[in-house]
Structure 1
Amino acid sequence: MLNLRRFASRDGLTQFYVALDHFTNCSKFIAALGHENPLLRILEIGAGTGGATAPILKALTLENGHRMYSKYTYTDIFAGVFMNARGRFQDYSSLEFKTLDITKDVVEQGFEEHRYDLIVASNVLHATGSLFDTLTNVRKLLGPHRRVYLQELNLVIQMCNFIMGILPGWWLGESNGRILQPYISPERWEQEFRNAG
């Protein structure tokens, strides 16, 4: 059986996620948020290899080196990814690295409710068993009138099933009605967010 950690350690997963993130450039959106609130408190869920983190940190750092965020919390379910991330993002300040399993209660994991202005989730929330439980936990982290930047696979790009489908975590959503693939339509995402409040 293919092990996700082994795949990641050979840098294959990093290259795969960087390629996926290449198709979606969030830099202007993120920079606009930073200009609106230069003290953004950001939490990235499942940051893993840092494929989404790099363009976000770049967008939030001005040419003079001034940053447009006060705290960037880099999370992943596996603490083992933090060593590489610390090295990769050593030039950025105010980063903290914490383990987070978004499928479990966030307060019990040491996170403060309603603390963050922006939650970033790039190709990670689909890899959970219950979208309702997951999004309820996301909501607990998010402050009032704040934002979620959600980047997910869509039903059109099915190549990911061939690449990631051999991993057991790819199929966590079967009992949640995601039988053929873990990702869902934008309309269903909207409904899932509404259901979670």
Structure 2
Amino acid sequence: MEEYCYTDLSKAFLLHAEKQYRAKAPYLKTQIFDVERSLAEQGVEVGRYDVVIATNVLHATREMRRTVGNTKALLKANGVVLINEMSSNSLFLQLTFGLLEGWWLSEDVPCGFRARRCWHRRPGGGCSRRRGSWTCAIRRRWRTGWASRSWWA
């Protein structure tokens, strides 16, 4: 492995990764990264990665279309993105995460894709998306060459 780039908005998580994993993974690189901002303004090379793993980070953004587009821009041709996100909007999630600013960032609007069935605004507020909404948001940005395998818990 040439590089494993561990990113976050918070320096605290990056310091934790350095402390926990650096000795075992000399290829580890840590970097502050905001998936909502352009790659160029963050000094990130477009098309650099074979695999992007996004675990519970994409949901806490203002505009899913831009978020998914920036995620796609990280990938080389035929790259793979693994997305692990919430797909329900339960009272437990609202009470657990509802006090966090990121839960309420969404400014998404109806996308018109699949007409009435696909709304990008998260149901009931907050940032959780229904399964079909995740699929729609990704397909809309990956118009060609998109394939998926979905496992829903």
TM-score by length of 1: 0.61
Secondary structure of 1:146's partner?
Answer: strand
Aligned to 2:150: none
- CA deviation profile, 1:34-75 (whole Å, cap 9, x unmatched): xxxxxxxxxxxxxxxxxxxxxxxxxxxxxxxxxxx3210001
1:186 is displaced (CA, Å) by: 2.1
Q: Once the 2 structures are TM-superposed, how far is the Cα of residue 157 of structure 1 from its aligned partner? A: 5.0
- The one of 59, 67, 89 equivalent to 2:21 is 89
**Aligned equivalent of 1:195, options 133, 140, 144:** 140
Which of residues 140, 164, 185 in structure 1 aligns to 2:130? 185
RMSD: 1.5
The whole-number CA distance in structure 1 between the counterparts of 2:123 and 2:136 is 18
SS of 2:132's equivalent? helix
Moved over 6 A (4+): none
Shift of 1:158: 4.3
- The answer for the alignment partner of 1:4 in structure 2 is none
Amino acid at match of 2:99: I
Correspondences of 1:92-131 after superposition (within 5 Å): 92-131=25-64
- Identical counterparts, % of pairs: 28
Instruction: Select the structure that is richer in helix.
Output: 1
Distance in 1 between residues matched to 2:89 and 2:104, nearest whole Å: 18
Alignment of 1:4-153 (within 5 A): 69-90=1-22, 91-153=24-86
Secondary structure of the equivalent of 2:105?
Answer: helix
Partner of 2:97: 164
The number of residue pairs the alignment matches comes to 128
Q: Provide closer, same or farther for how the CA distance between residues 156 and 169 of structure 1 changes in structure 2, counting only shifts above 3 A.
A: closer
Distance in 2 (CA, whole Å) between partners of 1:93 and 1:160 is: 36
**How far is 1:80 from its partner?**
3.0
Per-residue deviation, 1:146: 1.2
Q: Which runs of 5+ in 2 are unaligned?
A: 109-120, 143-153
Q: Give yes or no for contact 2:89–2:123 (8 Å, CA) kept in 1.
A: no
1:145 CA drift (Å): 0.9
**In the TM superposition, what whole-angstrom CA distance separates every residue of 1:121-146 from its partner, at most 9, and x where no partner exists?**
00110000100010110111111111
TM (norm. structure 2) is 0.78
Cα distance in 2 for residues equivalent to 1:81 and 1:133: 24
Letter in 1 for 2:54: A
What are structure 1's unaligned runs of at least 5 residues?
1-68
Give the AA of the match of 1:178.
Answer: R
